[in-house]
Chains A and B, each alone.
Chain A
Amino acid sequence: MLKIAKERLNELYAKINETMGLFMPIKKAGEVNYHVWGEGKEVSLETLKTVKSPKNMFFPQTENMMKFKTEGKNIEIVDVREKLAAAAEDKPFVMFGVKACDYKAIEVLDKVFLAEPVDTYYQIRRNAATIVTLACSKPEESCFCSVFGIDATAPQGDVTTWLDENYLYWQANTEKGENLTKLVETLFEKGGEAEVETQKANTQAILEKLPFANLDLSRFKPENLNELFDDTRWEEMSEACLGCGTCTFVCPTCQCFDIRDFKTNEGVIRYRCWDSCMYSDFTLMAHGNSHTTQMQRFRQRFMHKLVYYPSQNDGLYSCVGCGRCVNKCPQRLNIVKVIKTLGGNKND
C-alpha cells in the first residue's frame, strides 16, 4: 500500500493531468458533480453523492451518434465513433473518487452496454477510463449499499483509495491501476495498512447502524414477478408521483435512452439522450403506449430494478443503494419505500 499526504493531493492531480484527462467530484455553482479537474477547481472528495452519477462519463446524457450530410442526391454518413476513438486513444482518462455504490453501478451498466450487441459508443469511453475509487468513511442515513452486498469500506476499481484526516492511501488492483501507479508513484511513500484497517472497522460500525441496513430483498425474485406486478399497493405508492425524471436522471444505474433525428441546415444529426420511464412518451410506439398511467410507469421503474434486471442477470439487482432518489425525489417517494412496502424489513 502507498500513501500521500492530504495537502499534496493537488500535486497528484496535476501529475495525472499531465498525460491523462481527470474527472472528479468538483463543486460548481454550489453543486458537486463530476467535472474535468484543473488548477483552482473546488475538489470535493468527501461528497458522498454527486448530483449526477459518474455514469454520465460513459453514457452521456446527450450524444451525437452520426451525421447525415446531404449534397444533391448523395448522402454522406459521418460516423462520430472514429473521432471518439481517436480522442480516447490520444487521451485516456481517470475517474477519481468514485464511491463503492457508483462503481458497482458501472458493473450494472457494463452488463447492458458491453453485452452483445456491444454498444461501441459506451465501450470506447469505458476502455479509455481508469477508475480510482474512494472508500466511504462517513455514510449517511440515505445510504443502503450494504443491502446489495456492496462494501463501502473497500470498493473495487482499478485503484482503491482511502482518505483520512492526514493521508490518501492507494492500492492498485488491476493492470490499468498498476500503470496509473507507475505514472504517479514518485509522489507516494509506502505504508498505511494499519490506518486503513482502522478506518474500515470504524465505517463498518456506522454502516451497521444505518436506518436502511436491514431492508429485506428476499421477496424480489423472478418467481414472484406476477405477484409483485399485480400488487394492489402500487396505486397508493405512486399517487404523489409527479412524473418528472429526477429519480431516473440522478440514478447511477438507469440506462434507458431515446434515439432521435434532428434536422439542421447541413443535414441530419442522429443523437441519443437519456430517457425516463416516468415520462408520458416513454416506449411510445406506432400502436400507442404500453404504459398509459403514472402508476404503470412508476411500477416499471421499480420492477426493472428489483425483478426484471436480476432475472436476466443472475440475480444482480440494478439498484446499488446509493440513496440519490431518497434525497432528491421532489415528493419524497423512493425505492426504499417500495422495498419496505412490498418486501419488508428483516427485523420486522
Chain B
Amino acid sequence: MKDVELKMLERAKQLLESGEVARVIGWKKGEFYFDPAPASFETVEELGDFVYNGFCGANLSKYLIQASKKEGKTAIFLKPCDSYSFNQLVKEHRIVRENIHVIAIECQGKLDIEKIKAQGISAVTEVEEEGESVTVSSLYGETKLNKAEILLGKCASCKGKTHQVKDEEIILHEMPAPINNRFDEVAKLEAMTEDERFAFWREQLQKCIRCNACRNVCPACSCVKCVFDNPASGIEAKANDDKFEEQLFHIIRAFHVAGRCTDCGECSRVCPQNIPLHLLNRKFIKDIDGLYGEFQAGETDNGKTPLTSYTESDVEPNNALGGEAK
C-alpha cells in the first residue's frame, strides 16, 4: 500500500504545482496510524500530512457538494465503492462534474479499529499492514491479526474493483474480487417472524442517540436543509424520543434514500452505537431488485431509475410482496 500512497502523493503534488487543480481531497495523518481524517490540500506544503492506508475508509464524495462549487478544479481520490456515490451525486445535480478531476485509486479493503479493540486489544499505539496480516502493537503487547477479521462492516461485502467513474487511475496491484453476500443478513431478518423482527429493530434502534451522524455522512442525504433541522417545518425533531427513534426516524430516512442509496455503508461505519443501519437500506435494495429487476444506484450518472420512472408494466408492490390487492 505504501507504493500506492507515494504514487498518489506524487500525483497530487504535480496537479497542485501545475495549477491544473486548486485543491486535492484525500486523507491526512492523524495522531495514530489508524485515525486519518478527510482533508483538502491546497498547497504542496500541506501535502506533508498526506496519507493513504488501510484506515482510509471514509467516503469522500460528499465533500464535493461544497468543493466543486469553489473557484478552480478539485481533484479527488475515490475508491471503487465511493465512485457509485459520486455518480449518484452527479445524477442528482448536487456536484458540478466539470469542476472535478477524479483519480480512481486502489483499495484492498479497509480496516476497523473498533473491531481490533473488540479483540481485547487496548492502548493501541501502532498498526502495521502486510498483505493479509495486520500487526497491532499496544502498551500491553503485540498481536497479529488476520485482515479478514477486522475489515470494516462495509468492506465485508464489497461491490468490487471496478470504478464507475474516473479521469485517471492509480492502481498498482490486483484488487480483491467482489464479496457478494450483502443480502445474507437481510435474508436472516426476512426469515424472522414479525414479532422477532420488531424486537430486533427495537433493541437496536433504542440505542440511537440521535446524533445525526448517519444522516450527515450519507451522500444520498444531501438536502440543503433537512426537514428535521428546520424550525419552520413544524416537525423539527431534536428530542430523542424512544418511539420516534425506534419506529420512525431511521425508517423515514431509509425510505427517503431508497433507489438512491448506493450501499456505501457509511451510515453503519459512523454510528457511535453500532446500529446496523445499512440493513434497512439493503432491504430496500433487495426489494427493488426483486420487483423491478436488478438495479445498482450510482452505476451511471444518468438514466432512469426504478422508483422515479413509470411504466405500465410496473408491478403493484403490495401484490408482489404477497399482500392483498387494494
CB proximity of B4 to chain A, nearest CB, Å: 20
Q: Which residue of B lies closest to A284 (CB)?
A: B231
Inter-chain contacts of A327 with B (CB < 8 A): 114
Render A328-340 as a binary contact track against B, CB cut-off 8 A, 1 for contact. Answer: 1011110011001
Check if A78 is an interface residue, CB within 8 A of chain B: no
Which of B11-19, B79-87, B201-209 sits within the interface? B201-209
- Which A residues are CB-close (under 8 A) to B63? 240
Given the contacts A273-B240, A275-B238, A333-B37, A28 and B209 also touching, CB distance less than 8 Å: no
Residues of B within 8 A of A62 (CB): 239-241
- A244 near B216 with CB under 8 A, answer yes
| B125 in contact with A332 (CB, 8 Å) | no
* In the assembled complex, A195 has its CB within 8 A of some CB on chain B: no
Q: Is the CB of B265 closer than 8 A to any CB of chain A?
A: no
Binds A, one of B27-35, B146-154, B288-296, B306-314: B27-35
Given known A-B contacts A51-B209, A62-B241, A337-B30, A141 and B217 have beta carbons under 8 A apart: no
Q: Given the complex of chains A and B, what is the CA–CA distance between A212 and B35 in angstroms?
A: 14
Q: List which B118-143 residues lie within 8 A (CB) of chain A.
A: 122-125, 138-140
Q: Are A331 and B229 in contact (CB under 8 A)?
A: no
- Check A281–B231 contact: CB distance below 8 A: yes
| Chain A residue contacts of B241, Cβ below 8 A | 62
Interface string of A176-193 (1 = CB under 8 A from B): 000000000000000000
Q: Render A288-328 as a binary contact track against B, CB cut-off 8 A, 1 for contact.
A: 00000000000000000000000000000000000000111
- Given contacts A242-B213, A331-B37, A331-B38, whether A271 and B239 have CB atoms under 8 Å apart is yes
Q: How far is the CB of B250 from chain A (nearest CB, A)?
A: 14
> Which of B169-177, B253-261, B269-277 is the contact stretch?
B269-277
Nearest-CB residue, chain B, relative to A30: B274
C-alpha gap A340/B39 in the complex (Å): 17
> Closest chain A residue to B60 by CB distance?
A240
- When chains A and B are docked, how far (Å) is the Cα of A107 from the Cα of B95? 47
Name the CB-closest residue of A to B41.
A236
- Which residue of chain A lies nearest to B124 when distances are taken between CB atoms in the complex? A141
Q: Assess whether A211 is in contact with B125, with CB atoms less than 8 Å apart.
A: yes
Bitwise interface map of A from 203 to 226 toward B, beta carbon under 8 Å scored 1, else 0: 000100111100000000000000
Number of interface residues of B (CB under 8 A): 46
A244 to B122, CA, bound (A): 27
Q: Does A234 contact B (CB under 8 A)?
A: no
Contact A140 B123 (CB under 8 A): yes
Q: Is the interface of B mostly helix, strand, loop or mixed?
A: loop
Chain A neighbourhood of B64, CB < 8 A: none
Does A246 touch B at the CB level, under 8 Å? yes
Question: Contact at B123–A141, with CB atoms within 8 Å?
Answer: yes
Q: Is there a chain A Cβ closer than 8 Å to B2's Cβ?
A: no
The reply to whether A240 and B39 contact each other, CB–CB distance below 8 Å, is yes
Contact with A along B173-192 (1 / 0, CB 8 A): 00000000000000000000
CB contacts under 8 Å to B, within A248-293, are: 248-250, 258, 260, 262, 271, 273-276, 279-281, 284
Q: For the complex, is A33 an interface residue (Cβ under 8 Å from B)?
A: yes
Q: Is the CB of A260 within 8 A of B238?
A: yes
**In the assembled complex, which residues on chain A have CB atoms less than 8 Å from the CB atom of B215?**
244
- Chain B residues 208-232 with CB under 8 Å of chain A are 209-213, 215-217, 225, 229-231
* Known A-B contacts A331-B38, A332-B37; A249 and B231 likewise in contact (beta carbons under 8 Å): no
B58 within 8 Å of A (CB atoms): yes
Question: Hey, which chain A residues are within 8 Å of B124, CB to CB?
Answer: 140-141
Please indicate the chain B residues that have their CB under 8 angstroms from the CB of A242 in the complex. 213, 216-217, 270
Measured CB to CB, the nearest residue on chain A to B121 is A140
A250→B58 contact, CB < 8 A: no
Inter-chain contact B207/A33, CB cutoff 8 Å: yes
A336/B203 in contact, CB under 8 A:
no
A31 B125 Cβ-Cβ under 8 A: no
Q: Which residues of B contact A249 (CB under 8 A)?
A: 209-211, 272
Set of chain A residues within 8 Å of B203, measured between Cβ atoms: 28-29
B139: chain A residues within 8 A (beta carbon): 141, 206, 209-210
B54 part of interface (Cβ distance < 8 Å): no
Nearest opposing residue in chain B for A294, CB measure: B66
Chain A residues with CB under 8 Å of B88's CB are none
* Min C-beta distance of B257 to chain A, whole Å: 16
- Contact check, A273 vs B270: say whether CB atoms are below 8 A apart: no
Contact of A51 among B216, B229, B273 (CB under 8 A): B273
- Chain B nearest Cβ from A65, distance in angstroms: 12
Closest 3 CB pairs of A and B: A330-B270, A273-B239, A244-B213
Cross-chain pairs A/B with CB under 8 angstroms, 9 sampled: A33-B207, A62-B239, A138-B122, A210-B123, A244-B270, A260-B238, A279-B212, A326-B35, A332-B35
